[in-house]
């Protein structure tokens, strides 16, 4: 665990000396991307130079994901790949927090840091590069560390030894990628107890960021050229409950949409059981808030959902979708589903297929169940063979690909508002751009290729267009008239 110190090297005046160059590798979700940018901001403030290539770095910071087995494997592979650069390798993020000393023992090539090291990341990196030994943390259930009530939280976070809450109490100071879209974290942690999910144990209890802090970061992102904000957390529908106001997100969304320079605000990670009518109305009906519903259904069989420690079922979910479409007929819907949860029957799978067929969703992620340490599901009876889980995943994936392609075809002739992200003129011909409509998440829900774009268009601009064709879930569109600029631009 003790990295070899690197000798100082002579550098030109004004250059960052060797020993202060760090590359960052980020795995997992948009929440991790925000954490990486926050870490980058802290390191830049401590005099570190952020470089793109690990071969040019003295240290590589790998922000790991620990959600499911495949994500953990990808994180280990990324750590091992980083060691090939010859730089000192530091693992942070969810997998590093979740396994701590165990991960350090399995990968002595890397130094493993936890969330509580984030506030002093510059000092910790100094330790690594100077060869000072660091003792990896012993994992603990972070739900016991983060108080829930606002009063308790205020008192606890004022203490010098308060646990670190990634994404709180300071504004991000660096973006690692250019472009007009940025994730903005609403909160950290989760208070739900889904039987299959270990996230609360290593991310901790749900803690909202104060609205003023979120607005301040939105204004900063707008000043950096961002025109679309994607609000992320483990459960965005819980935002504000620990602040004493369950309507916090309903109030915050119009304020974010009014930030100078912001053209679109999108909310990700909504829990169906917590989507209150008022919040649904705001998402569906507020100008510059995308009518987009990223709903964490996970399944639709009521019986299986109860085993998962979740609520609802096919009829509840279809009613929710119908309510949203009554307010915003062109609204976008995406979800994730799990196949092969312990006790899942053929009838349960058929019920899920019935829901997916009737729901007409725009995007669906299909995952196979895997045991996760520290979850209730790991001890449940009725485990399925891996071959059966894989077969069910393939079966539902095939159905989803057909259904989402059909849903995209339903949009032919529809007028959409496309946020431009990449000029394809050199590849596809003059006036062709790539972008995404309001119903498409920038990272996971397909794209819109738009022709006839004016020569003065810029990334982040909005363009009205008509959908003229599809390629799977991707849309082909023809530009009409430039949309009005966001207020204040």
What's the CATH fold of domain 144-410?
Answer: pyruvate-formate lyase- activating enzyme (3.80.30)
Per-residue buried b or exposed e for 397-413, using 16+ beta carbons within 10 Å of the residue's own CB: bebbeebbbebbeebee
63, 90 Cβ separation under 8 angstroms? no
* pLDDT tens digit at each of 489 positions of the chain: 333 332 223 333 344 455 699 999 999 888 899 999 999 999 999 999 999 999 999 999 999 998 778 888 999 999 999 999 999 999 999 999 999 999 999 999 999 999 999 989 999 999 999 999 899 888 888 877 755 444 444 544 444 455 566 655 556 778 888 899 999 999 999 999 999 999 898 888 899 999 999 999 999 999 999 999 999 999 999 999 999 999 999 999 999 999 999 999 999 999 999 999 999 999 999 999 999 999 999 999 999 999 999 999 999 999 999 999 999 999 999 999 999 999 999 999 999 999 999 999 999 999 999 999 889 999 999 999 999 999 999 999 999 999 999 999 999 999 999 999 999 999 999 999 999 999 999 988 899 999 999 999 999 999 999 999 999 999 999 998 655 444 433
What's the CATH fold of domain 21-139?
Answer: Rossmann fold (3.40.50)
Cα distance between residue 327 and residue 104, in whole Å: 51
Domain spans of the chain, in order of start: 21-139, 144-410, 415-482
pTM of the model: 0.89
Structure tokens at 33: 């991307």
Q: How far lies 410's CA from each of 226, 270, 394, in Å?
A: 31, 25, 24
Residue with tokens 């994901």: 65
The DSSP result for 389-438, as a single string, is: HHHHHHHHHHHHHHHHHHHHHHTTT-EEEEEEEEE-HHHH-TT-EEEE-T
72, 28 Cβ separation under 8 angstroms? no
Structure tokens at 460: 């982040």
Query: Candidates 3.20.10.10, 2.40.50.140, 2.60.120.10, 3.30.750.24; correct CATH number of 415-482?
Result: 2.40.50.140
CB atoms within 10 A of CB 81: 14
Cα distance between residue 72 and residue 95, in whole Å: 7
């Amino acid at each position: 665990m003790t990295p070899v110190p690197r000798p100082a090297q002579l550098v030109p005046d004004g250059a960052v000396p060797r020993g202060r160059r760090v590359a960052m590798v980020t795995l997992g979700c948009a929440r991790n991307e925000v954490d990486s940018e926050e870490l980058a901001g802290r390191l830049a403030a401590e005099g570190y130079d952020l470089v793109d290539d690990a071969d040019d770095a003295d240290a590589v910071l790998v922000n790991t994901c620990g959600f499911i087995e495949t994500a953990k494997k990808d994180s280990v592979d990324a750590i091992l790949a980083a060691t090939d650069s010859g730089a000192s390798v530091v693992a942070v993020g969810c997998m590093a927090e979740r396994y701590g000393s165990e991960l350090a023992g399995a990968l002595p090539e890397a130094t493993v840091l936890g969330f509580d090291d984030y506030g002093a990341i510059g000092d910790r990196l100094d330790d690594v590069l100077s060869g000072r030994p660091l003792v990896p943390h012993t994992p603990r259930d972070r739900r016991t560390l983060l108080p829930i009530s606002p009063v308790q939280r205020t008192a606890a976070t004022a203490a010098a030894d308060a646990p670190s809450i990634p994404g709180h109490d300071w504004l991000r100071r660096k973006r690692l990628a250019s472009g007009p879209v940025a994730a903005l974290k609403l909160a950290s942690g989760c208070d739900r107890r889904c039987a299959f999910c270990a996230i609360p144990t290593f991310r901790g209890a749900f803690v909202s960021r104060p609205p003023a802090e979120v607005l301040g970061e939105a204004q900063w992102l707008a000043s950096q050229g961002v025109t679309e904000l994607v609000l992320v957390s483990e459960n965005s529908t819980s935002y504000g409950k620990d602040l004493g106001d369950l309507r916090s997100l309903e109030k915050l969304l119009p304020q974010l949409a009014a930030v100078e320079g912001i053209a679109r605000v999108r909310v990700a990670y909504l829990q169906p059981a917590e989507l209150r009518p008022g919040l649904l109305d705001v998402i569906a009906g507020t100008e510059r808030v995308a009518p987009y519903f990223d709903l964490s259904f996970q399944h639709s069989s009521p019986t299986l959902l109860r085993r998962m420690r979740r609520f609802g079922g096919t009829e509840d979910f279809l009613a929710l979708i119908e309510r949203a479409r009554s307010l915003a007929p062109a609204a976008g819907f995406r979800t994730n589903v799990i196949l092969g949860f312990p006790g899942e029957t053929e009838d349960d799978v058929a019920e899920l297929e019935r829901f997916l067929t009737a729901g007409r969703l725009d995007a669906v992620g299909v995952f196979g169940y895997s045991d996760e340490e520290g979850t209730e599901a790991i001890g449940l009876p009725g485990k399925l063979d891996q071959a059966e889980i894989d077969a069910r995943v393939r079966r539902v994936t095939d159905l989803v690909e057909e259904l989402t392609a059909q849903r995209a075809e339903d949009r032919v002739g529809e007028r959409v508002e496309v946020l431009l992200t990449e000029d394809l003129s050199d590849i596809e011909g003059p006036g062709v751009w790539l972008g995404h409509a309001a119903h498409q998440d920038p990272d996971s829900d397909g794209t819109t290729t738009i022709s006839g774009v004016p020569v003065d268009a810029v990334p982040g601009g909005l363009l009205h267009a008509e959908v003229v064709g599809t390629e799977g879930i991707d849309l082909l569109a023809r530009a009409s008239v430039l949309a009005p600029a966001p207020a204040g631009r």
